[in-house]
Chain A
């Protein structure tokens, strides 16, 4: 294989995987993929249709991603595939960026190992196709770091500016992307011989500040209260009154011990090497340690934060596995130079010693690593892919067609499942789009406030859960006062429509029984 084809082959594989993944996954139709998929879709829909109401969203995240998706919705139409595809592309770009960070150590083997480890990590297949901020922010942050990395020659000034711009985009996608900064500084310090910090740091900073100012200028709201204080309040509340469900969970991070064990090998390899430490490994280690520091302390912990651990772990694991597999491969291909002939007097035998323990151990470890990945990691990955492919789609949902039918004349809908509102094409009252756990524990949104908002917006449609809202007398009062008509019901939910939309009432259970003649 020539050097050029060695470079292009993994990129070809990566693009092929991206296309396959994009084609197989139900990007446009799945109701909900990943944890917070629903928030971003509804946010962007509201910003696109009613930009004047964006300030009412009570968004505690930066606006960049929402604004970009809203813009795309405006140009291409409201399609859930747009933000999901963006995440997918950024996830695959993360792989490319990491390859470039591991440049000197990377052969074809390590590149493929990294791709295999990262893309099959627990939760990554789901996160990669969900309209969520975390994978996009991490992807952009790693791209920024890769952009500023040039160990062998001087970093061109445009790349330093670009790195700052991309890092600002990452930070204004989600602030957790800034966790990468410690690793980034280590990397910049490590390449100080070729690109002095005093030269590139101001350029990076300039790019960062300029982009930040631009994003701040175009954002509907931006406040320290939303971006920091609200998170800090939730953190303090959970610190004062710990909730075990929202504490840092080692199981989320180390569920992939198949990756963790080779990652330890990767660290050992780094220490074993006589040459100076490589930038990619140093960056991964520094990032990993920062992650532990930040996320062990930070509350609440969400399982999707483990993506911050999975990227550096996959980098280290690829290097560790690559080292062992290469050693095992060399043990096969190397000439038996260590044969020693020994004359044994008496029986005239010649002894030849052609094996050694370390070669055998490397062979065994390499086989175990590959076997465990194929036998454990791959089936889990396939299972996750199956789960994604079998996610409930819009076509399978019984309420979406009714919401679409009546929604043409409706302004607002109240729903117990945000994504149904997005796919139904009707907006929710902005204050109710982000019904997050954080708002719940900080008292930002409670049942009284929800009722108050519903009363003030007077939504033409109400999708209520049988065991939730419908058991609440206040909701029943809203239904009675508004003379809402039930147009569709299931065991879990009921759709009520205002008389303004001329609804046709659904049959009750008794009427259904009578109709069926039972």
Chain B
């Protein structure tokens, strides 16, 4: 029977407890849908950009960058840790529906933050824009597009998860 699962080319499985009362999303690596992985991967990129920037500065790998170019280190550190925690929650703790809700929430809050404080220096991508000119040129575009992607992916995944969850078993 397990072979049948493989034949269906699926990668998101739900498990039914023996009492038949609840569904739990199987919280293992390969059981999350691709869109959740996609949202988490984007978030991980942002988290790594921040944390690696702090790491690199601490160990003197980015001596040519001025302090102003990497923004406030403490803020960046806490934001990076927060994002890493969110990635962990999305991939390992929460079920698909909650993961999507969290992705949508992150997207919405990031979008509001970008719209309200558009002209403020953003620690979002750490030192990456200073190192990669393409990121520097397209910083505003990226920081507007990515939250919209999170918001839409989260909402879409949420709707899909909500619709796909059977009412009773």
Contact = CB atoms under 8 A, between A and B. Distances in A.
B95 interface: no
A351 B144 contact: no
Contact of A372 (B15, B18, B145, B153): B145
Contact of B1 (A328, A342, A363, A370): A342
A358 to B, nearest CB: 9
Contacts of A339: 166
Contacts of B1: 342-345, 351
B108 interface: no
A213 interface: no
Contacts of A240: none
B149 A357 contact: no
Contacts of B144: 374-376, 379
A293 interface: no
Contact of A357 (B9, B17, B157): B9
A363 B153 contact: yes
Contact of B15 (A336, A343, A349, A361): A349
A447 interface: no
Given A331-B160, A353-B8, A371 B35 contact: no
Contact of A350 (B16, B149, B157): B16
A376 B144 CA distance: 8
A380 to B, nearest CB: 9
A354 B32 CA distance: 11
Interface in B20-62: 23, 33-35, 38
Contacts of A351: 1-2, 5, 13-16
For the residues of B in contact with A, the DSSP-based class is helix
Contacts of A345: 1
Most buried by B among A342, A345, A354, A366: A354
Nearest to B37: A360
Contacts of B16: 341, 349-352
A328 B156 contact: yes
Contact of B18 (A328, A348, A368, A370): A348
A340 B2 CA distance: 11
A107 B38 CA distance: 29
A484 B112 CA distance: 61
| A contact residues, range | 35 or more
A397 B146 CA distance: 43
Interface in A214-229: none
| B contact residues, range | 35 or more
Contacts of B141: 375-376, 379
Nearest to A361: B34
A361 B34 CA distance: 7
A357 B34 contact: yes
A332 B160 contact: yes
B93 interface: no
B11 interface: yes
Contact of A336 (B35, B149, B163): B163
Nearest to B140: A379
Nearest to B31: A355
A350 B169 CA distance: 10
Contacts of A375: 141, 144-146, 148
Interface of B: 1-2, 4-5, 8-18, 23, 33-35, 38, 140-141, 144-146, 148-149, 151-153, 156-157, 159-160, 163-164, 166, 169
Given A328-B156, A353-B8, A354-B12, 19 more contacts: A332-B160, A336-B166, A340-B4, A342-B1, A347-B18, A351-B2, A353-B12, A354-B14, A354-B164, A355-B12, A355-B33, A356-B10, A360-B35, A364-B35, A371-B145, A371-B149, A374-B144, A374-B148, A375-B144
20 contacts: A332-B159, A340-B5, A341-B16, A342-B2, A342-B5, A350-B16, A351-B2, A351-B5, A352-B166, A355-B164, A356-B8, A357-B9, A359-B160, A360-B33, A361-B34, A363-B160, A367-B149, A371-B146, A371-B152, A375-B144
